[in-house]
Amino acid sequence: MSEGQDEATVSRRKFLGAGSAIVAAAAGLGSAQAQETSSKDEPIIRTPDHHLPSESEPAAKNTALDEQNPNSVWSPATDAGGQPPFKYSFSLSHKRMEGGGWTRQVTVRDLAISKKMAGVQMRLIKGGVRELHWHVGAEWALMLYGSARITAVDQEGRSHVSDVNKGDLWIFPGGIPHSIQGLGDDGCQFLLVFDDGNFNEFATFLLTDWLTHTPPDVLAKNFNVPAETFAKVPPKELFIFERPLPRPLAEEQKQAEAGTGRVPHSFDFRPSEMKPTKVSKGGEVKIVDRKIWPATNIAAAIVTLKPGGLRELHWHPNEDEWQYYVSGKGRMTVFAAGGHARTMDFQEGDVGYVDKSAPHYVENTGDTDLVFIEVFPTPYYEDISLAEWLAHTPSRLVNQHIATGEDFLAKINKKEVVIVPE
Ligand code: MN
Ligand code: MN
């Protein structure tokens, strides 16, 4: 280390030790934020191989976690704190175990930034039933494994009964009662996304719970039957439980639709049967929103990035984005204005979150395809890319800002590419 660096280190320590700590305390700022602010007026010395004493980490550390988060251990030099964490993993969530399967959730209580959406993973064994229930928020689902039978009834008594398989989606609008049952030899596993960050899968309106908390004579009067009819209703909620497989699909559909018919727009959707919305050398995207799925009030993009592929720099003007990483490895930088930016790494089972209008990219950093979903609590998908913004603004004006030369600007594709390389 040179003498000059040594002096700089010492003077910075003095500065942090006295002045900024007092200022930070007075302003109610955390120490991390104070350091980010105070270090602005001197160069931060970093080396590609991190060999400086100032870069070393001599105490014991969690090597396994560090290896999964290289962009947190050594952030890009363009990162600059201040952006709150936007990653949580289902691996860290409490698993509620039941006889027929299990469930776990990632909500605003786990990931503070995720105010408008929450996610649930659920496993149902063969015959395992997620009890008939409903909730205030809407439920959007992606089948991750196996197959299931879903049922629902809308506000006009019309029925939906169908079987869904890996890759299929469903939507249950808020307040619509529904159920899920694992089929086949090994049931299913699926992801649920709710348009409410404070959602709680363990506090939904359950059929058994409701009947147990209604006076038996009222139940008898309601259905004009003897009160003994309800003598065997379980005194405690079933939630997830194991039962024999359902009857053949056509038979159950016919029975459930009697008198009122089927819901006018199907509550399930099969992305495997649609063409990609956009294909490029870097990968493909399927945008599934109300334009092609009239029943949904939650929009989604299913993105596949090939190794090296980049979901281009963009933002969403209309809503927050909730992400789930299905397979592969990637990283995302979120720029939060005011000089704040942070990069975090993602892999299978991770949840990401981006505030409305905050710009970001997602890059495949692995050697296999990266598959992730973007979910929005709104019926219609919207985005604006950096490239289309620059391509459709007078080039002289843009060049006066970023000095790239107008030739570069003229060559930007006039249509949004979505995933690069094109
Ligand atoms: Mn539900
Ligand atoms: Mn996005």
pLDDT given at position 173: 98
pLDDT at 356: 98
Question: Which fold is adopted by the domain 275-420?
Answer: Jelly Rolls (2.60.120)
Q: Which tokens hold the place of 25?
A: 């305390």
Domain spans, the chain: 3-52, 93-269, 275-420
Residue in this structure with the two tokens 């029925």, named with its chain if needed: 159
pLDDT per position as a tens digit, 372-416: 999 999 999 999 999 999 999 999 999 999 999 999 999 999 999
With residues binned 3-state (H G I as helix, E B as strand, rest as coil), the percentages for the chain, rounded to 5, are 25, 30, 45
For the 93-269 domain, the top CATH level (class) is mainly beta
pLDDT in tens, 124-141: 999 999 999 999 999 999
Identify the band that residue 366 occupies on the pLDDT scale cut at 50, 70 and 90. Answer: very high
Strand order, beta sheet including 87-89:
87-89, 350-354, 321-327, 370-376, 299-305, 283-288, 278-280
Q: What pLDDT shows up at residue 38?
A: 47
Burial 217-255 (b: 16+ CB within 10 A, else e): eeeeeeeeeeeeeeeeeeeebbbbbbeeebeeeeebbee
Asked if 374 is an active-site residue, the reply is yes
| Mean pLDDT within 35-64 | 82
> Which ligand has its closest atom nearest to the C-alpha of 180?
1
Please give the structure tokens belonging to residue 291. Answer: 């334009």
Ligand 1 centre distance from Cα of residue 87 (Å): 24
pLDDT value, residue 40 = 58
Could you say which of 201, 242, 374, 388 is catalytic?
374
Share of the chain above pLDDT 90, in %: 88
Ligand 2 centroid to residue 321 C-alpha, Å? 6
Residue 56 neighbours by CB under 8 Å, 6+ apart: 50
186-224 pLDDT per residue, tens: 999 999 999 999 999 999 999 999 999 999 999 999 999
Q: In CATH terms, are 93-269 and 275-420 the same topology?
A: yes
What's the rounded mean pLDDT across residues 46-51?
91
- Can you tell me whether residue 379 is helix, strand or coil? coil
> Residue 36 C-alpha to ligand 1 middle, in angstroms?
43
**205 CA distance to ligand 1 middle (Å):** 9
- The pocket of ion ligand 1, defined by CB under 5 A, consists of 139
